[in-house]
């Protein structure tokens, strides 16, 4: 049976809307500003074996890797109605420990195994570990927080209170974490309910048929997109600033081979995994590849498992882009993922003339701050990624002060920051003229300056402080970012990655990179 084009479009929107409604539920019921304000979460729908069918327009680095977490959960457990499995293990489909995934099965009458799954992933602003905010300058995953293998958090509709108690006793802000966990559970309940309604209305056979048809459709369109890239080999390399501990100029290299409607991305010449926390697990590399190639597609297709079927990703175990246990990985998800994208786009710029933009800021500018709030005498943990300049393209200037590529969050508004944390925001502005010059200018970065109103611990994981975002076709590089600590009116230049204790009245100033320019 061939899919009806109209019904295919209907199911594309219905399944995507399930994911979107899950996201609305999670957003409205979450406790932390990181989830409620910044929307650092993602939701998706999967088939009975864990292949992604549809997703909401959430975080690329979450969504490309989430199927691996779902498949690990399926492998570990026989699901019953009302069950939910929680996991954050980067070596079992996760990205880094603060990103917690909860998976729920969808059942229908007369079938004793799940027919679909729904899942969501949310970034918790503390999951234990050696530093507040759980984004440390670590040398082992054991320093980064609680490692959660796939475990049943909800059993036939009943929350495992002992397991929840264990989680909450290992974090700095248990009240906030509990609220976010429960919000994730509610999001899955919403997703399960909507999928059950879809099956009740159309029947399992039709929903299953069009789910598979959507995967086939995305695969066909992706093959068509790859066909438009000239056959050949395209090589590009770029470097990470450092690993935060010892090593500088860490190479990421890709060779992209285009052969008709297939693409092979070979990362085996990338440097070995490092001591610091910028190692990326394979799931992150896969996410970056999916993001870039999905961005090449002109048609409005669902982002699902079909997008990756024509693409082969080759890595080398124990390398920076396929780290092995027990490597430190918390920064790989947020920083190395961005450089992987820069490298893939750089290679494709040699094949697709005038279709690939210059480098965007190439970092998420991660800021984690924690301590005791003097207003309440309660612990607090704050985490945020900061926007920057977007790279210019062949027909447009880059956007100013936005999140780009592997991150898709909002900012935390000043009002929410000062209400929730002992902060005073001294400056929040566009960093004028930080974009690279060219026929089209790169977007400008931003400036975020925060004065601490309580003693605290600060961790910053950032990139593009030593190597600027590249321009293309004669366009100039964007300006490098800066991290500055202001103590007693004295400005101290800080490295791209640091952890330090700061006093009440000290100021943290982050100047994010501009995007690269395009054309002379």
For the residues 270-278, what does the mean pLDDT come to? 97
Are the C-beta atoms of residues 311 and 227 closer than 8 Å to each other?
Answer: no
As a whole number of angstroms, the distance between CA 346 and CA 388 comes to: 19
Q: Is 210 helix (H, G, I), strand (E, B) or coil?
A: helix
Task: Report pLDDT for 286.
Answer: 94
Model pLDDT, residue 220: 97
* pLDDT at residue 407 tops 90: no
- Average pLDDT for 89-108: 95
Beta pairing class for 262-266 and 311-314: parallel
Rounded CA-CA distance 147/127 in Å is 9
Tens of pLDDT along 314-349? 999 999 999 999 999 999 999 999 999 999 999 999
Domain ranges of the chain: 5-218, 357-520
Q: How confident is the model at residue 409 (pLDDT cuts 50, 70, 90)?
A: confident
The encoded tokens of residue 123 equal 């970034």
pLDDT (average), residues 250-254: 98
Q: Could you tell me which of 125, 127, 188 has the C-alpha nearest to residue 154?
A: 188
DSSP bridge pairs for 373? 378
Cα dihedral sign for 212, 218, 221, 223? negative
Mean pLDDT of 165-179: 96
Phi, psi (deg, nearest 5) at residue 94: -85, -175
How many angstroms separate the CA atoms of 385 and 368, rounded?
9
Question: Can you spell out the DSSP letters for 61-102?
Answer: HHHTTHHHHHHHHHHH----TT-EEEE--GGGT-SSTTEEEE
**pLDDT given at position 256:** 98
- Which residues, listed in sequence order, are joined to residue 484 by a DSSP beta bridge? 493, 509
Average pLDDT over every residue of 462-481 = 98
pLDDT of residue 64: 76
Local structure of residue 393 (DSSP, 8 states): -
**Residue 231: both structure tokens together:** 């056959």
Interaxial angle between packed helices 66-76 and 282-296, expressed in degrees from 0 to 180 and rounded to the nearest 10: 130
Q: Which two tokens stand for residue 429?
A: 């502005």
pLDDT surpasses 90 at 353:
no
CA distance 485 to 500: 10
The burial class, CB within 10 Å (0-12 / 13-18 / 19+), for 474 is exposed
Q: Is 363 a residue whose pLDDT tops 80?
A: yes
Is 410's pLDDT higher than 90?
no
Token code pair at residue 245: 């501990």
- Which has the closest alpha carbon to 121: 150, 148, 95, 157? 95
Stretch 511-515: mean pLDDT, rounded? 98
Give pLDDT, residue 50.
Answer: 96
DSSP 156: T
Starting at the earlier edge strand, list the strands of the sheet with 366-373.
378-384, 366-373, 456-461, 497-502
**Cα–Cα dist 130/124, whole Å:** 15
Q: What is the pTM of this model?
A: 0.96
What's the pLDDT at 197? Answer: 97
**Mean pLDDT for the stretch of residues 92-96:** 92
Strand segments, DSSP code E, in 243-346 are 248-259, 262-266, 311-314
State the CB neighbour count (10 A cutoff) for residue 37.
20
Tokens of 484: 């500055």
Coarse DSSP helix, strand, coil percentages of the chain, rounded to the nearest 5 percent:
30, 25, 45
pLDDT value of residue 192: 98
pLDDT at 357 over 90: yes
**Confidence (pLDDT) at 59:** 73
- Whether residue 447 contacts residue 510, with contact meaning beta carbons closer than 8 Å, is answered with yes
Mean pLDDT of the chain: 96
Task: State the pLDDT at residue 114.
Answer: 97
**Cβ(144)–Cβ(329) under 8 Å?**
yes
Q: For residues 50 and 67, is the Cβ–Cβ distance under 8 A?
A: yes
Secondary structure class of 221 (helix, strand, coil): helix
Q: Return the structure tokens found at 262.
A: 């297939």
Residue range 127-157, pLDDT digits in tens: 999 999 999 999 999 999 999 999 999 999 9
Tell me what pLDDT residue 314 has: 98
d(CA 30, CA 177): 9
> Which pLDDT does position 129 carry in this prediction?
96
Q: Does residue 238 register a pLDDT over 80? A: yes
Residue 102 has pLDDT above 80, yes or no: yes
Give pLDDT tens digits for 72-90: 999 999 999 999 999 999 9
CB burial class (10 A; 0-12, 13-18, 19+) of residue 5? exposed
Residue 440, pLDDT > 80, answer yes
Which of 500, 513, 515, 506 has the alpha carbon at shortest distance from 462? 513
Per-residue confidence at 187, pLDDT binned at 50, 70, 90?
very high
Q: What is the pLDDT of residue 56?
A: 81
CA–CA distances in Å: residue 171 to residues 145, 332, 362, 380, 451: 8, 22, 30, 11, 25
pLDDT of 241 over the 90 cut: yes
- Cα–Cα distance list, 396 to 114, 150, 193, 356, 399 (Å): 47, 45, 43, 12, 9
Mean pLDDT of 459-478: 98
- Predicted confidence (pLDDT) per residue in 37-80, tens digit: 988 899 999 999 999 999 887 677 777 788 999 999 999 999 99
- Around Cβ 382, how many Cβ atoms within 10 Å? 26
């Amino acid at each position: 049976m061939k899919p009806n084009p109209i019904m295919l479009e209907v199911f594309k929107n219905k399944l995507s809307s399930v994911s979107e409604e899950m996201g609305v539920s999670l957003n409205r019921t979450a406790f932390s500003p990181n989830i409620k304000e910044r929307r650092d979460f993602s939701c998706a729908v999967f088939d009975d074996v864990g292949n992604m069918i549809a997703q909401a327009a959430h975080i690329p680095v979450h969504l490309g890797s989430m199927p691996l977490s779902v498949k690990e959960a399926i492998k570990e457990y026989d699901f019953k109605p009302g069950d939910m499995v929680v996991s954050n293990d980067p070596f079992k489909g996760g990205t880094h420990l603060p990103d917690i995934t909860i998976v729920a099965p969808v059942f229908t009458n007369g079938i004793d195994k799940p027919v679909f799954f729904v899942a969501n992933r949310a970034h918790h602003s503390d999951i234990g570990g050696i530093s507040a905010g759980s984004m440390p300058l670590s040398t082992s995953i054991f320093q980064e927080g609680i490692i959660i293998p796939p475990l049943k958090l909800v059993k036939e509709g009943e929350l495992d209170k002992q397991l929840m108690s264990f989680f909450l006793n290992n974090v700095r802000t248990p009240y906030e974490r509990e609220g976010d966990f429960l919000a994730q559970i509610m999001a899955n309940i919403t997703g399960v309910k909507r999928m059950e309604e879809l099956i009740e209305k159309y029947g399992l056979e039709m929903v299953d048929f069009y789910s598979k048809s959507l995967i086939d459709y995305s695969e066909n369109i992706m093959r068509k997109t790859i066909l438009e890239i000239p056959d050949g080999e395209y090589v590009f390399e770029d470097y990470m600033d450092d690993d935060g501990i010892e090593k500088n100029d860490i190479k990421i290299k890709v060779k992209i081979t285009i052969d008709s409607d297939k693409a092979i991305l070979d990362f085996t010449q990338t440097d070995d995994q490092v001591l610091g926390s910028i190692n990326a697990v394979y799931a992150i590399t896969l996410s970056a590849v999916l993001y870039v190639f999905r961005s090449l597609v002109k048609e409005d297709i669902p982002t699902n498992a079909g997008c990756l079927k024509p693409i082969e990703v080759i890595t080398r175990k124990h390398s920076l882009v396929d780290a092995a246990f027990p490597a430190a990985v918390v920064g790989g998800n947020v920083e190395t993922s961005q450089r992987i994208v820069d490298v893939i786009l750089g290679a494709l710029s040699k094949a697709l003339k005038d279709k690939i933009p210059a480098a965007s800021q190439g970092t998420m500018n991660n800021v984690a701050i924690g301590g005791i709030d003097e207003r309440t005498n309660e612990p607090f943990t704050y985490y945020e990624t900061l926007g920057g300049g977007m790279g210019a393209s062949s027909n447009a200037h880059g956007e100013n002060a936005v999140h780009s590529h592997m991150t898709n969050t909002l900012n935390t508004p000043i009002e929410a920051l000062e209400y929730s944390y002992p902060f005073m925001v001294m400056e929040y502005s566009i960093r004028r003229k930080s974009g690279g010059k060219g026929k089209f200018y790169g977007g400008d970065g931003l400036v975020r300056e925060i004065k601490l109103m309580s003693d605290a611990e600060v961790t910053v994981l950032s990139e593009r402080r030593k190597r600027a975002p590249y321009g293309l076709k004669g366009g100039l590089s964007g300006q490098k970012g800066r991290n500055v600590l202001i103590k007693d009116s004295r400005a101290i230049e800080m490295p791209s990655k640091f952890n330090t204790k700061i006093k009440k009245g000290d100021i943290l100033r982050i100047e994010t990179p501009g995007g690269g320019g395009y054309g002379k």
